[in-house]
Amino acid sequence: MVRVQQANFLEKNQFLSELDSLGLGVNPESKNYKYSILLAAKDVVVMSAIAKKNDLKSYLGAVFVVSNESQLSLLCESQHPTKDTPTYPSIDSGKPQCPSGFLDLSTQSK
């Protein structure tokens, strides 16, 4: 979802606000997760996969436009299983930050 949002912004100078628009076949809800997209600002989009079961972790993805030609992205995983809706990622000193209780997966080596 993050990559599709990045590509769409580069091509059309806007983020997609509907799951259907992503072209990935993602439904708003599955057996385990509730998915959503929040256009936090013209230059920020946050995508979430919030667990529907007590034993699952939740996830956030975000894209921040920092200039006409530069974007920063982030992928966050809850440190513990949670069904709670978190606060959203932010930028601090030019670096994307996961909300409290979430780990930045985008900095993890593969």
Instruction: Please write the tens of the pLDDT for every residue from 45-67.
Output: 999 999 999 999 999 999 998 87
Instruction: Please write the tens of the pLDDT for every residue from 17-47.
Output: 777 777 777 788 899 999 998 888 888 999 9
**What's residue 52's pLDDT?**
95
Total domains, the chain: 1
Residue 13 falls in which region: left (phi positive, over 0), alpha (psi -120 to 50) or beta? left
Q: Which residues are CB-contacts of 37 (< 8 A; sequence separation ≥ 6)?
A: 1, 15, 16, 17, 18, 19, 45, 46, 47
Residue numbers of the domain that contains 70: 2-107
Percent of the chain with pLDDT over 70: 96
Where are any strands of DSSP class E within the chain? 33-41, 44-51, 59-67, 70-78, 90-92, 95-97, 102-104
Structure tokens at 101: 């209780």
Structure tokens at 3: 């990559």
With beta carbons less than 8 A apart as the criterion, state whether 77 and 89 touch: no
The model's confidence at residue 110, banded by pLDDT at 50, 70 and 90, is very low
> Residue 66: which of 90, 87, 88, 47 has the closest Cα?
90
